[in-house]
Structure 1
Amino acid sequence: MNVSHVYSLRLYNKHLVTVCGSALPILRPTASQCCVCRRLRSTGVFQSDDFTTVKAPKPFRDIPGPRGLPYLGSLLDHRIGRFKNVDKYQDSLIWLHDKYGKIAKKTLAGKTTVHIFDPDYFRTVYQHEGRIPYIPPLLESVQLYRRKRDMSPGLGFTNGEEWYRLRTAVQKLMMRPHEVYAYLPFTNQVASEFVDKIENLRNEDGEVKDFEIEMAKWSLESAAMNCFETRLGYLDNSASAEANRMVNSNTVLFEKSTKMKFLLPLHKLVTTPTWKTILDSEDFFAGTGCRLVEETAKKIQTLVDEDKLTENKYMFLAYLLTQKELSFKDVTTITLSLFGDGLSTTVPAALFNLYCLAAHPNVQQTLVEEIRAVVPQQGEITAQMIQKMPYLKAFVKETFRFYPIGLEVSRSLQKDLVIGGYHVPAGTQLEMNNFVLFKKPEYFHEPETFLPERWLRGGSAHNIHPFLLTPFSHGPRMCAGRRFAEQDLYVLLTKVLQRFQVKWHHKEMGQRYQVLMVPDCPARFSFADRT
C-alpha cells in the first residue's frame, strides 16, 4: 500500500490502516482501490488533497517560505526591508503567494505561521476543525489587557470548553436572524438621525468634514441602543468630548497594535511606551463601556424588584444576565465587544460600501430602483423589506470582495493535517489568506469588474467556491456579531440612498493595514440631494 495512504489514514484513525492494509501496487491510490476510503470521501471526511495527489506527505520543515534570521525570521523585512511600510502589509502576503504558491510559512519574532492560498485547502481546515475550533487572538494586545485588568477574555480571546460555554450562552441572542430583527427599531432610529446629520453638516461641495469620525459616532450610538437601550448623544452637533475620545481610543488601539505586530515582544517584560499608550486608551474605552453595563444592569434590577421588567425592555443585557452560564464579568465583556467592535469592522465596511456606490453610478441607480420598489420614503425599514432586497445584499457581498476588511481567517490546529501535500502538525498557527484570490480570473468571472449581479440567483456565483469569500469566517467560529453588522449596513445604506446621491471627486480609495483594513484616504464623499 502507498506510504502516503497509510500515513494519511493514521493522522485521522489509526485503526483504519489494518482495514485498508490489503496488498496494493505502490502507486497513487484511487477511489476504486479501497472501499473504506471511498466511503470516507463520500462523507467529506477526506479531501483528495489529503492523500491521493501526493506520493507521501512532505515534512513541515519543507514548506517553502522566506528563511530570514534565527528567531527574528522575516521581522527585519517589515522593519527596514522591502515591506517596511506596514500600512501595506497586504502586499507582503500577495508577494508570499506569488513567490511560493498555495502554501508558505513565515516566521516573525519567534512565531511561525503557515499561510494557505487555496479554497480547497480552506475546506480541508474547516472540515477537520471539529466542534470547538481554536483561534489565535486577532489583537494580542486586547487579550493581554483583559488579563491584566482581570476581565473575562470574551468570545474572541478564548478557546476550548471555556469558549464553548460563552458561545452557547449567546448563540440564540446574536446568531439567529429573527432575534436580531427585534433591534431594527433602534437601528432605524439612529440611522435616520445620522442621515439628518449628514444633510446638516454638508459644505458647499456636499462633503462632510471628518466623515469617518462621524461614521464612528453613528456606530457607537447605534450599538449603545442595541446594548443599553440608551442614547449617548454622540450624534448631537455639540457632542461631548467623550464621543471624540472614544473614537480616538479605538483608533490608537489598532494603530499601536499594528506597530506591536512587527516589534520584538518586549512589552511582555516591561511596560514599553507603545504598550503604555494602549493601556491608557483601553482603560478609557473599556472603562466607559463597563460603566454603561453597570448602569444598565442597575436599571434592570430596579425594574425586576418593582416587577416592571417587560420582555421588550433592555433585551440584550437582560437576556445575558439571565444566563446562568455567564458571570457578570462575562456579560460585561460580551456587551463591551458588541458595543465597540463595529468601530473597526462595520465602520470601514460602510465607508467602502459608500465608495463603491459612488464609483459605480450604474450600480447605485439599480440599487435605488430596488429600494424604491420595496421601501416607502417615510417610515421604518422592516425585516420583510430587507428580505425583498436581494440586490442590496449582493452589493454588500461584492463590496467585501473588492474591499475585504480582514486579510485572513486564522486557526490554531488541534490535530495533524496534510495540506497541500505537507504534514502540518497540531499546534501550528494557520492563516487562510483568501483575499489574495478575490481578483483572480480562475476564481471569478470578470474579476476586475464590480458586479453585484454575480451573487444573484442565476448569476455566476453558483460557480464560485463556497469557501472562498467568507467575510465573517465560517463554521462554529463565525463572527458572533455578524447579524448586527449586516443589519446596520443594510439599514444605513438604504436610508442614505433614499435621501442622497453619493459621489466621489478625489483619487481612488485604497486600503491600508491597521490589523484590519481601513480606507487609505479621507472619506470625502459628496452627498447630493436625490430628486
Structure 2
Amino acid sequence: MSYFRCGRVTFNFPGKNFAAAIPHCRWVTSKSAQDFTCIPGPVSLPFVGNTYLYKLGIYSVFQYHKVLQTLHAKYGPVVREKIGNRTIVHVFDPDDVKTVHSIDGKMPEVPPLQETTQIYRQKRNLSLGLGNTNGEEWYRLRKAVQQMMMRPKEVSHYLPLQDKVAQDLLKKIEKSLDSNNVISNIENIIAKWSMESSGMVCFEKSLGCLDKNETTADRMIKANRDIFILGGILKFALPIFKYIATPKWKKFLEAEDFFYQKATSYVDETVDEINKLVEAGQLKEDQYSFLAYLLSRKDLSRKDVNIITLSLFADGLSTTSPSLVFNLYCLAKNPDAQDRIYKDIMKNLPEDNRITAEAINNFQLLKSAVKETFRLYPIGTETSRIVGKDTILGNYVIPAGTHVDLNQFVHFRSSKYFHNPEEFLPERWLREAQGTAINSAGMHPYLLIPFGHGTRMCAGRRFAEQDLYTSITRILQNYQLELVDPSYNMEQSYQTLLVPKHPMLLRFIRRKQ
C-alpha cells in the first residue's frame, strides 16, 4: 500500500510520478507507516475493551476530558481505545485533524452525535435529524436548512428577537439580586434565558421561561440535563441497554419523552397558528419565519420539521447556556479585560442603543473574548469522523471506516501553541495581533474550531454566536461582573458535553447610566 504525503496531509493516489512533481512531498508506504494494530493505548480486555477502566474508577466518565489528556500524555498523538465492541482512534495533533478534514468529501460520515438519542428516535419512529444521519439522508436535511440557519443575513433577521430576550434576562437578573447584589443560581437563570431565546427564534413568542412558566422551564431543563448526563454514562457502558431496559435507560427514555412531547406541543401550537393565518390570508411575509420556511420545503416531512425545530430549540441548553456561564466567569475573573471589552462595546454601540448586525461586526474585542473563552473552557471534547478512505495519521495506517475522534482541545493550554496559555487574553485573536508577542507561536487553523469544520459544521452556529454577543453586550452595558470569591476557579464536568462542575457566585454591580 502506498500513499503520498504533502506536509502532513496524506493521500492514497496511485502512482509515484504524481508526487514527484510536487515539492515538499514524500511517499509513505506500508513499510514506513505502522499498522493499525500498532497504535498504542490502554490494555483492552476481551468483550469489555477498556470499559473496565471506567467501571473500576481508574478513569472517570465525569472527567472524561482529563482522561483524554492522560491518554495523550501517556501514549502520544494517536491513541486507540475500545469501549465494548467499539474501537475509537483518538487524534490530538492539529496537523492530523487537518488531514482528516482534507478527505471529508461532499458528505462526511460521522458516528451519531448522541447514540442514545439516535436509538430513542429510532424506537419512537422519529426523524433522526442532522446529527444522527449520514449520506443522502443527511445531505437532504442539510440542504433544506442551509439557507435559513447558516447564512448571516438570514440569521440576523432574528437579532431583534434575541435582543428582546437578552433584555428580559436583565430584568430577571435585577429581580434575582440579593441585598449584596449576588445571584446564587445564575446557571439556572441562564438556562431559562437560553430556552426563552430559542423559543423566540423557533416560535416567535415568549414561552415565559423567565417569568410565568418557570416551573415548566425547570422541568425541561432537568429533563435535558438528565438526557446528557445519562447519555454520557451509557456511552462508556457495555451496550446492555440496547437489548434490556436497564434502570438508567428507562430514566433516559422518560427524560427524552417528556422533553420531546413538551417541545412538540410548542411546534404543534405554532403550526396551527400558521395554518389559521394562511387560511385567512393574513400570514405576513416575515411572520413565523423559521417554521413557515421549514413547512414550505416540499423535501421535508412533518417529522423532519419537528426534529429540526426541536434541535435548534434544545441544543442551546447544552451548548450556548454553559458557554455564557463560562464567558461571564472569564469576564468576572479578569476585570481589566472586562473593562476593555465594555469600553469597546460602548464605543461601537449605535446611539439608539440597538444591537445590529453591523454593530456586532464592530465588536471585535467581544468576539475575540468569546473565542478566547472557547479556548479556556471548550464545550466539547471532540468532533468525530468515520474516515472515508485509508489514510495515515501520526504515521499509522488508519483503514477506511474507522471511527476517529479529533481531540485537539488538549493543546488549548499548551505553551507550544499559545503565549501565556493560562491567561485570558482576548487580544490574541485580533488580526493585528498576528505575529506579535501575544501571538508569537502562531495560530494553527485546525486547532480551535469549536463549531466543527466544513459541511458538517454545527448548523446552529450563527444563532449561538448571535445569542452570546447580544446577551454579553446587554449584561456588560448594565453591570460590572465580580466573583464573590476571587479565589474561585472554574472546573468542568463531562456530561456528554462540558459544563460547570460547581455553582458560581457572581456579583452584578450596577453601572451608572
Contact 1:54–1:421 under 8 Å retained in 2: no
1:91, CA displacement in angstroms?
1.3
The 5 Å alignment of 1:94-493 reads 94-236=69-211, 238-376=212-350, 379-460=353-434, 463-493=442-472
| Alignment counterpart, residue 503 of structure 2, candidates 519, 522, 531 | 522
User: 1:73: which partner in 2?
Assistant: 49
The change in CA–CA distance for 1:52 and 1:428 in structure 2 (over 3 A counts) is closer
Give the Cα separation in 1 of the matches to 2:180 and 2:39: 54
Contact 1:71–1:108 under 8 Å retained in 2: no
Contact 1:501–1:529 under 8 Å retained in 2: yes
**Does the residue aligned with 1:508 lie in a helix, a strand or coil?**
coil
Give the Cα separation in 2 of the matches to 1:209 and 1:281: 26
User: 1:501: which partner in 2?
Assistant: 480
Task: Note if 1:86 corresponds to 2:61.
Answer: yes
Give the Cα separation in 2 of the matches to 1:501 and 1:378: 22
Please list the CA deviations of residues 134-191 of structure 1 after superposition, one character each: whole Å capped at 9, or x if unmatched. Answer: 1112211111111111110000110011000000000010011111000011001111
Give the Cα separation in 2 of the matches to 1:6 and 1:303: 60
**Does the residue aligned with 2:431 lie in a helix, a strand or coil?**
coil
Worse-superposed segment, 387-396 or 289-298: 289-298
1:380, CA displacement in angstroms?
2.5
Which amino acid is 1:513 matched to?
Y
**Does the residue aligned with 1:509 lie in a helix, a strand or coil?**
coil
Give the Cα separation in 2 of the matches to 1:489 and 1:275: 33
Which amino acid is 1:62 matched to?
C
Worse-superposed segment, 430-439 or 53-62: 53-62
Contact 2:220–2:259 under 8 Å retained in 1: yes
The change in CA–CA distance for 1:356 and 1:13 in structure 2 (over 3 A counts) is closer
Give the Cα separation in 1 of the matches to 2:127 and 2:304: 5
Scaled by the length of structure 1, what TM-score is found? 0.91
Give the Cα separation in 1 of the matches to 2:11 and 2:151: 33
**Does the residue aligned with 1:522 lie in a helix, a strand or coil?**
coil
1:293, CA displacement in angstroms?
1.0
User: 1:23: which partner in 2?
Assistant: none
- After the TM superposition, list the runs of 4 or more consecutive aligned residues in structure 1 that deviate by more than 3 angstroms: 3-8, 11-14, 50-55, 376-379
Give the Cα separation in 2 of the matches to 1:12 and 1:393: 36
Output the aligned Cα RMSD. Answer: 2.0
Give the Cα separation in 2 of the matches to 1:331 and 1:209: 38
Contact 1:377–1:498 under 8 Å retained in 2: no
Give the Cα separation in 2 of the matches to 1:433 and 1:107: 16
The change in CA–CA distance for 1:307 and 1:121 in structure 2 (over 3 A counts) is same
Contact 1:249–1:284 under 8 Å retained in 2: yes
Worse-superposed segment, 309-318 or 475-484: 309-318
**Does the residue aligned with 1:503 lie in a helix, a strand or coil?**
strand
**Does the residue aligned with 1:411 lie in a helix, a strand or coil?**
strand
1:277, CA displacement in angstroms?
0.6
Which amino acid is 1:37 matched to?
A
Provide the identity percentage. Answer: 46
Please list the CA deviations of residues 66-124 of structure 1 after superposition, one character each: whole Å capped at 9, or x if unmatched. Answer: 122112122111111421x3221111111111111111101111111000111110111
Give the Cα separation in 2 of the matches to 1:432 and 1:71: 25
For structure 2, the residue ranges without an aligned partner over 5 or more in a row are none
1:398, CA displacement in angstroms?
0.4
Please list the CA deviations of residues 337-363 of structure 1 after superposition, one character each: whole Å capped at 9, or x if unmatched. Answer: 000100000000000000000010010
The change in CA–CA distance for 1:38 and 1:478 in structure 2 (over 3 A counts) is farther
Give the Cα separation in 2 of the matches to 1:449 and 1:213: 27
Which amino acid is 2:225 matched to?
T
Please list the CA deviations of residues 220-278 of structure 1 after superposition, one character each: whole Å capped at 9, or x if unmatched. Answer: 11111100111111111x43421111111001111111221222111111111111111
Worse-superposed segment, 520-529 or 218-227: 520-529
The change in CA–CA distance for 1:58 and 1:13 in structure 2 (over 3 A counts) is closer
Which amino acid is 2:82 matched to?
T
**Does the residue aligned with 2:43 lie in a helix, a strand or coil?**
coil
Please list the CA deviations of residues 302-330 of structure 1 after superposition, one character each: whole Å capped at 9, or x if unmatched. Answer: 11112222221000000011111111100
**Does the residue aligned with 2:458 lie in a helix, a strand or coil?**
coil
Which amino acid is 1:465 matched to?
H
1:523, CA displacement in angstroms?
2.5
User: 1:25: which partner in 2?
Assistant: none
For structure 1, the residue ranges without an aligned partner over 5 or more in a row are 21-33
1:492, CA displacement in angstroms?
0.2
Give the Cα separation in 2 of the matches to 1:80 and 1:175: 44
Largest Rg, 1 or 2: 1
The change in CA–CA distance for 1:53 and 1:201 in structure 2 (over 3 A counts) is farther
Contact 1:4–1:56 under 8 Å retained in 2: no
